[in-house]
Amino acid sequence: MATLTWHGHSCFTLVTDEGTRIMFDPWLDENPKADIKAKDVKELDYLLVSHGHFDHFADCIKIAKQTDATVISTFELVSFCQQEGVKNGHGMNIGGGYPFPFGRVKLTPALHTGSIEGDKEGAFTTDCTGFLLNLNSGQRLYHSGDTALIMDMQLLRGQVDVALLPIGDNFTMGPEDAARAVEMIEPRTVIPMHYATFPLLVQDADEFRKQVGGRATVEVLEPGGSYEF
């Protein structure tokens, strides 16, 4: 089974059946809810980064350098990482997919503003993306990134086993829209993310579960908590 561990906000570590270690949206050192720090990440194969805002990207370069993990993201964000000394990167663009040793990754649309933390000249502007992973063992995982509710989500229907969706509102879709996203996508399981990190993002995950109802199983994790699928 694959194991997914939440580190708070939108940061997860996925360990596949084959033992590949993948981290999404690495923000740990300044994350008030994170259960680990960047220095604690000793072994990692891939870093999947949805966009360059600090609360998704701040520890990417540091972790990539200390683990030699390959950064997978938009072409512009990967180019910035390589300019900053990251050795391994694979740039993509929205709608495109690529077969990696652990499975296929496709970049999905996400509606959100884009900039890259640390890019002082603003030369590497980029859009936000989500990720659809089809693992070699057959599991299908969708990390939406920061996004509003968009009609494109209905194109994912029948393709997702586990969906990671933001419910924090204000900067992303809130619980009501996230529940509508579940209706569009029809995953077996949904895990809420990007909430409760700041006062602006306080939400009741149990209320979100009620709004989802019988459409999917809602797994509410605490930072450091894991889900196997």
| pLDDT number for residue 126 | 74
Does 226 fall in a domain?
A: no
Of 10-14, 113-117, 129-133, 190-194, which gets the smallest average pLDDT?
A: 113-117
Amino acid identity of 143? H
| pLDDT number for residue 104 | 98
| pLDDT number for residue 98 | 98
Of 31-40, 69-78, 116-125, 202-211, which gets the smallest average pLDDT?
A: 116-125
| pLDDT number for residue 181 | 98
Q: Is the pLDDT of residue 47 over 60?
A: yes
Does 228 fall in a domain?
A: no
Q: Which whole number is the average pLDDT over 163-185? A: 98
Tell me the pLDDT band of 171, cut-offs 50, 70 and 90: very high
| pLDDT number for residue 117 | 62
| pLDDT number for residue 113 | 81
Provide the β-strand partners of residue 135: 103
In angstroms, the Cα distances linking 48 to 38, 67, 122, 201 are: 15, 14, 21, 23
Q: Report the sign of the C-alpha dihedral through residues 200, 175, 16, 117, in that order.
A: negative
Q: Is the pLDDT of residue 48 over 80?
A: yes
Does 103 fall in a domain?
A: yes
Determine the number of helices (DSSP H) and then strands (DSSP E) in the chain: 5, 14
| pLDDT number for residue 119 | 54
| pLDDT (tens digit per residue) in 115-162 | 666 555 665 567 899 999 999 999 999 999 999 999 999 999 999 999
| pLDDT (tens digit per residue) in 61-100 | 999 999 999 999 999 999 999 999 999 999 999 999 999 9
Does 224 fall in a domain?
A: no
Task: Quote the pTM value.
Answer: 0.95
| pLDDT number for residue 114 | 76
Give the residue from 63, 75, 66 showing the smallest Cα distance to 25.
Answer: 63
Residue 101 CA, distance from chain mean position: 19
In sequence order, which residues have a C-beta less than 8 Å from that of residue 208 and are 6 or more positions away? 167, 175, 178, 179, 192, 218
Q: What percent of the chain has a predicted confidence (pLDDT) above 70?
A: 95
Does 42 fall in a domain?
A: yes
Does 229 fall in a domain?
A: no
Q: Which residue range(s) make up the domain with 172?
A: 3-219
| pLDDT number for residue 116 | 64
Q: Which whole number is the average pLDDT over 209-218? A: 97
| The total number of structural domains that make up the chain | 1
Does 225 fall in a domain?
A: no
Q: What is the CATH number of the domain that holds 171?
A: 3.60.15.10
Q: Which whole number is the average pLDDT over 16-21? A: 98
